[in-house]
Amino acid sequence: MNQETLNLNRSSFGNPQNEGKAISKEEALTLLDEWVKNEKLKVHMLQVGHLMKTYAHSKNYPDEVQHLWYLAGLLHDADWDQWPDQHCKKIIEELESRNLDPGMIRAIASHGPRYFGVEPESEMDKMLYAFDELSGFVHAYSLMRPTGYAGMEVKGVKKRLKDKTFAAQVSREDIQDASQRAGIPVEDLIQFVITHQITALE
């Protein structure tokens, strides 16, 4: 992945008039089915969608807000499977053409500041960035454990993070950076992921 070519060169996303506008879970899953053929990637997006929703729920945000958090997580990598060189430009333009909530679109645009050149600003932006890599990392760890998620502990995940050969494609730097920006210790983020991650297509 080339860092410069994915730069979105934009700082504003969606239309403020569309604040609060969402598609249903069913519509979002249909989009996902159409765009994403890779089952592993689909699992990743379902996992991040679920973590985002659960986090918003833990903050007692209204159902409509929880749903927007869910959509941001669910759709953040929707174009990665078929159009990796247009990631995440294509999904952003799709959601803009559907006149959806600008905050949700912005969260997707800022889920990789090093690549897309968009700084995470809102809490939704920051949490999507924080959950993205960590969710994938914890899942990779679960797959190598005989008991999967059962009995998984934060210290086991931290040990794997220090082992640079394990899931080497996961950027430890981004995990640290995201935790700092979110103002949440990486240990707490790991614990949240262990507790709430879904393991199958739900």
Binding residues for Fe ion (CB under 5 A): 77, 132
Q: How many CB atoms are closer than 10 A to CB 129?
A: 25
Identify which of 108, 34, 110 has the alpha carbon closest to the alpha carbon of residue 76: 108
Residue 20 near residue 64 (C-beta atoms within 8 A): yes
Identify which of 196, 128, 134 has the alpha carbon closest to the alpha carbon of residue 167: 134
Nearest residue (CB) to Fe ion, 101 versus 174: 174
Nearest residue (CB) to Fe ion, 101 versus 133: 133
Tell the smallest beta-carbon distance from residue 25 to Fe ion (Å). Answer: 19
Tell the smallest beta-carbon distance from residue 168 to Fe ion (Å). Answer: 16
Taking each helix axis from N to C end, the angle separating 186-196 and 172-182, rounded to the nearest 10 degrees, works out to 100
Tell the smallest beta-carbon distance from residue 73 to Fe ion (Å). Answer: 9
Contacts (Cβ under 8 Å, ≥6 apart) of 123? none
Tell the smallest beta-carbon distance from residue 136 to Fe ion (Å). Answer: 7
Nearest residue (CB) to Fe ion, 100 versus 128: 128
Residue 152 near residue 141 (C-beta atoms within 8 A): yes
Nearest residue (CB) to Fe ion, 128 versus 157: 128
